[in-house]
């Protein structure tokens, strides 16, 4: 895929990353009490920022969401570092981002429809 | 800390939840050990308390538990001559825990936890209202 600055392509990539992150958070919460489990997070925004060039274009097929273990949170007695409150916070943020992307996307589509309906 | 990130209030509210969660952890330990006359080192259980600290120096930020300190106040002595931990006069040192105070602290911790949840929920609502503009 060549470089793009089409907003729909960016929103598509963003929504995909948020869906992936939501899965990761659900996985973390499921492993809340698993011994020696370290939480996972998704790196996307940083990679996207690196891929965007001066003209604001990016090759989105090159930007892949990356799964990593931050290992920054406090480790509990059983070697697990998942904290329910932080995961809920992550989920709230993720939901807001997701909502924002969806709204922007529907707005964009509505603009297109309006342009098509001009008589 | 500058106010520039949309998600900062969420992180701050979560830090409050986290800190109060740990605080409740300590209160439950105090309540559970209220009758422990021997902590394994020949002393009754000593009350523990959380000391909070803000994460940013200029105050605009979350909260964290700075340290966990033990309460150094004196142990109350009660007369229990038959108790294995009793001294020569028949008195036993009990943990320096007042259950009513612990229950009061528990109520405060719970209310602060609820307040942080309220802030989180309200902020979420505010963002949703802002997103309504995109409809």
Q: How far is B85 from chain A (nearest CA, A)?
A: 31
- Residue B116 pLDDT: 95
Please determine, for residue B4, whether its predicted confidence score (pLDDT) is greater than 80.
no
Q: Which of B52, B56, B25, B22 is nearest to A74 (CA)?
A: B22
Report helix angle A84-116 to B99-132, nearest 10: 10
pTM beyond 0.90: the answer is no
Residue B72: partners with Cβ closer than 8 Å, 6 or more residues away:
B46
Query: Can you give the length of chain B in residues?
Result: 135
CB neighbourhood size of B107 (10 A): 11
Rounded CA-CA distance A1/A12 in Å is 14
Contacts with A88 from chain B: Cβ below 8 Å: 14, 17
B5-61: pLDDT as tens digits = 888 899 999 999 999 999 999 999 999 999 998 888 888 999 999 999 998 877 788
Q: Is B89 helix (H, G, I), strand (E, B) or coil?
A: coil
A56-88: pLDDT as tens digits = 888 888 888 889 998 888 888 888 999 999 999
> Which tokens is B14 given?
């979560």
Q: H or E element: which one contains A31? A: none
Mean pLDDT, chain A, rounded, equals 90
Q: Which of A21, A4, A30, A34 is nearest to A91 (CA)?
A: A21
Residues of B with CB under 8 A from a CB of A: 6-7, 10-11, 13-14, 17-18, 21, 120, 124, 127-128, 131, 134-135
Q: What is the ipTM of this complex?
A: 0.81
Q: Which residue of B has its CA nearest to A76?
A: B22
């Amino acid at each position: 895929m060549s470089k793009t600055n089409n907003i729909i392509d960016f929103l598509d990539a963003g929504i995909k990353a948020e869906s992936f992150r939501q899965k990761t958070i659900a996985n973390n919460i499921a492993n809340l009490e698993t011994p020696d489990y370290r939480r996972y997070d998704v790196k996307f925004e940083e990679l996207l920022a690196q891929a965007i060039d001066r003209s604001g274009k990016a090759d989105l097929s090159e930007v892949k969401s990356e799964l990593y273990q931050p290992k920054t949170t406090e480790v509990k007695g059983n070697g697990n570092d998942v904290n329910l409150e932080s995961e809920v916070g992550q989920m709230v943020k993720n939901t807001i981002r997701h909502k924002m992307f969806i709204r922007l996307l529907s707005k964009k589509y509505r603009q297109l429809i309006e342009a098509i309906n001009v008589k | 800390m500058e106010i520039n990130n949309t998600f900062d209030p969420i992180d701050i509210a979560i830090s409050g939840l986290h800190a109060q969660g740990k605080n409740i952890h300590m209160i439950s330990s105090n309540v559970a050990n209220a009758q422990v006359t021997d902590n394994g080192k020949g002393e009754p259980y000593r009350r523990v308390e959380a000391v909070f600290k803000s994460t940013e120096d200029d105050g605009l930020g979350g909260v964290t538990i700075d340290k966990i300190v033990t309460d150094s106040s004196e142990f109350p002595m009660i007369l229990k001559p038959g108790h294995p931990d009793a001294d020569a006069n028949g008195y036993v040192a009990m943990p320096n825990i007042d259950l009513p105070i612990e229950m009061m602290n528990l109520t405060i911790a719970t209310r602060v936890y609820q307040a942080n949840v309220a802030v989180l929920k309200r902020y979420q609502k505010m963002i949703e209202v802002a997103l309504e503009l995109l409809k």
